Structure 1
Amino acid sequence: MELRHLELLRDLAHYGSVTAVARATFRTPSAVSQQLKTAQRDLGAALVEPDGRGIRLTEAGRILAAGGTDVAAALERVRASWDAFRGDLTGTVSIAALPSAATFLVGPVLQALAGTGIELALDDQDVAEAEFAHLAADVDIVIGHSLTGQRPAGTDGLLVSTLAREPLDVAMGVRHPLAGHTRIRPVDVVDSDWIGVPVGYPFDTVRLAIESVTGTRLRIWQRLRDNRLIETLVASSDSLAILPRFTTPIGDGLVLRELEGVPATRYVSAILRPDKAERRAVRHVLDQLRRVGLARSGPLTVT
């Protein structure tokens, strides 16, 4: 039983296809297929079976894929113990992060890492909630978010550590009729135009909750991803939007008002593959992210 075969099955379980594994591991599909054939021959079992126009793991394949994850985690634990023995806290830790979360988390972490042997490689990723889990195969830490719970959708089998709990507010221009309110009720906003996010993105959950409570469909005239662009458009129009409290700059024509009567809080979480979570440098960076998140949002209630 070779480690490379277990790693291949683990990758197939995560990426779902030979083509996707080849792309992620910088190989050709034919090379991946050939390794899969070799693994089936050496192990004496069918590891995949046809599934429509693609393939899926058999029960034997799933057992070995899970074993591949366990073996990889065990190897990283040994490396972490060896690094601790040598007093070695070095290396590059790669992070894929939602920009609005990285904005308040990563700066203080960089300051805390100054003078250590750890470097961060940061990539900004603004994707739908269920897509954050897929990024975990390619980086050490993924920073994502969810409005439905502390564990983002699709993260089964991955480690999830909640970093912060952040309120989401209604953003509007200073001249909007609702700007004089301290808090906003769902019924107050049904007649306004909205700038939303793409369907499937966590902030859209607030829109759905408002529609459910009021029985009225909101008028969404734009769906955008970039918060800075949304801020500019809201400040210069009569439109409303849902924006995060910690990083939305008020002033310059923009105000935030608390929304009551519907869930309007997001959980910002770190998502890691179990083997990568064993690295000593990764654990240190994760601890720093937790420290910064706790200082910003206060203690978290476990759900």
Structure 2
Amino acid sequence: MELRHLELMRDLEHYGSLTAVARATFRTPSAVSQQLRTAQRDLRVPLVEPDGRGVRLTEAGRILAEGCTDVAAALERVQARWDAFRDDLSGTVSIASLPSAATFLMARVFRALDDTGIEIVIHDHDVAEAQFASLAAEVDIVIGHSLTGRRPAGTDGLTVVALAREPLDVAMAAGHRLAGQARIRPDDLLDCEWIGVPVGYPFDTVRLAIESATGASLRIQQRLRDNRLIESLVASSECVAILPRFTTPNGGGLVLRELEGVPATRYVSAILRPDKAERRAVRRVLDELRRAGAAGPLDYASVRSVAESTDRVEPGS
């Protein structure tokens, strides 16, 4: 039994097809198919079976895929102990993060790690909640969010570390008719026009909760992903939106009001493959992410003092 056979089963389980595995591992489909044939010949048991136009793992294949996770985690634990023995806290840690979460987390993390040998490469990804788990195969740490709990949808079998609990508020122009209220209830919003987010994104869960509480449908004028764009449109119109409290400017024509009567909190979490969670450098970055999350909103005046320490960041593509 060879580790490369186990890794192939794990990749097939994750990506779902030989073509997707080839694309993710920078090989040709024929090379992946040849490796699969070799694995089945060496192990003398079918590892995949037809599934529509593709294939799926047999029970034997699933056993090997699960075994790969165990073996990879064990190897990383040994590497972590070896690094500790050599007092070596270094290496590159790749992070894929929801931009609004990275905004209040990463400046503190960069500052805390400035005098270590750890280099962070960060990629910004704004995807639906169920898609964060798929990024865990590509990077060391994924920072995602959920409105339903600390474990985002689709993360079964992955390590999930809670980082922060952030209120979501109703954003509106300073001159909006509801701006004089300290809190907003679902019934107050029935006559409003909305700037929403795509269906499947966590903030849309608040819209669904408001509709469930009122029995009415909200009028969604636009569905956008970029919070800065949403802020601009809301501040210059009569529309309202749901935006995160920690990173949305409250002032300059835009105000935030607490929403009561429905769940309006997002859970920000780190998502990792179990083997990657064993790396010493990754564990240190996770510790700093937890500290940054516990500290709450970032004082943006302090960002200038750490700007020079972030020149080692390599922007993601």
Could you say which residue in structure 1 is the equivalent of 2:108? 108
Structure 2 CA distance for aligned equivalents of residues 184 and 84 of structure 1 = 52
Q: Is 1:206 paired with 2:206?
A: yes
Could you say which residue in structure 2 is the equivalent of 1:3? 3
Which amino acid in the other structure matches residue 140 of structure 2? D
Q: Secondary structure at the match of 2:37?
A: helix
Deviations 1:127-182 (A, max 9, x none): 00000000000000000000011100000000000100000000000010000000
Instruction: Report 1:16-165 matches (<5 A).
Output: 16-165=16-165
Structure 2 CA distance for aligned equivalents of residues 74 and 136 of structure 1 = 18
Q: Secondary structure at the match of 2:179?
A: helix
Deviations 1:196-252 (A, max 9, x none): 000000000000000000011000010000000000000000000000000001111
| Superposed structure 1 runs of 4+ greater than 4 Å apart | none
Structure 1 CA distance for aligned equivalents of residues 20 and 267 of structure 2 = 29
Q: Secondary structure at the match of 1:170?
A: strand
Structure 2 CA distance for aligned equivalents of residues 97 and 90 of structure 1 = 21
Structure 1 CA distance for aligned equivalents of residues 26 and 287 of structure 2 = 32
Could you say which residue in structure 2 is the equivalent of 1:170? 170
Could you say which residue in structure 2 is the equivalent of 1:192? 192
Instruction: Report 1:218-229 matches (<5 A).
Output: 218-229=218-229
Which amino acid in the other structure matches residue 109 of structure 1? V
Structure 2 CA distance for aligned equivalents of residues 242 and 280 of structure 1 = 38
Q: Secondary structure at the match of 2:202?
A: coil
Q: Secondary structure at the match of 1:178?
A: coil
> Residue 115 of structure 1: CA displacement?
1.1
Structure 2 CA distance for aligned equivalents of residues 170 and 29 of structure 1 = 49
Deviations 1:74-133 (A, max 9, x none): 111111010000000000000000000000000000000011000100000000000000
Which amino acid in the other structure matches residue 145 of structure 1? H
Which amino acid in the other structure matches residue 147 of structure 1? L
Could you say which residue in structure 2 is the equivalent of 1:301? none
User: Which sections of structure 1, spanning at least 5 residues, go unmatched?
Assistant: 298-303
Q: Secondary structure at the match of 1:221?
A: strand
Could you say which residue in structure 2 is the equivalent of 1:288? 288
Which amino acid in the other structure matches residue 164 of structure 2? A
Which amino acid in the other structure matches residue 233 of structure 1? L
Deviations 1:247-283 (A, max 9, x none): 0011110000000000000000000000111100000
> Residue 294 of structure 1: CA displacement?
1.1
Q: Structure 1 vs Structure 2: percent identity of aligned residues?
A: 79
Structure 1 CA distance for aligned equivalents of residues 191 and 83 of structure 2 = 60
Q: Aligned Cα RMSD in Å?
A: 0.6
Structure 2 CA distance for aligned equivalents of residues 172 and 44 of structure 1 = 64
Could you say which residue in structure 2 is the equivalent of 1:300? none
Structure 1 CA distance for aligned equivalents of residues 54 and 195 of structure 2 = 39
Deviations 1:4-60 (A, max 9, x none): 000110111111111111111111111111101110110111000011111100000
